[in-house]
Amino acid sequence: MIPDEEKNLLSAQSRDYFQRMSNAAGRMQGLINDLLAYAQIEETSLNEQVDLQELLNTIKDEYDHVFNTGSGELQLGKLPIVPGNKVQLSQLFTNLISNAIKYAHAERKCRIEVSCLSCDAPDLIAVPTYIVTGKQ
């Protein structure tokens, strides 16, 4: 209500802070919804098609305050659509990226790369298999 009703009285920095708080609250609501969904996971939901490119772009947006300030960089290669559970995969990649940022060397820019290799071995594996790689 404050940003809407008093936005002309707020500085640009204050409006930015309110927008960040609003985004964080939205992410928190999403986490709560995800926890509720996780509690009700059935085996069939582990095979939904998850677009890793879209998922990682969403996570990248969540960390825009790090990547837009120049203190960090996240580069995404071409990522596949894979069977899995979107909530669990999102949590996995969020944790990996968060830890990479948190434990980055203090004197170096945090640079994270996420890419994918295809493991096509039809003699051994009946379904397409991918190796998602990351480095900091």
Q: Which of 63, 71, 69 is nearest to 105 (CA)?
A: 71
pLDDT at 41: 65
Q: Tens digits of per-residue pLDDT, 66-122?
A: 877 777 888 898 888 888 888 889 988 999 888 888 888 878 888 888 888 776 655
Kindly give, in sequence order, each residue whose CB lies less than 8 Å from that of residue 96, ignoring residues fewer than 6 positions away.
134
pLDDT in tens, 20-47: 888 888 888 888 887 777 676 665 566 7
- Secondary structure of residue 135 in the 3-state scheme: strand
Can you read off the two tokens belonging to residue 71? 């203190």
The pair of structure tokens assigned to 49 is: 């098609």
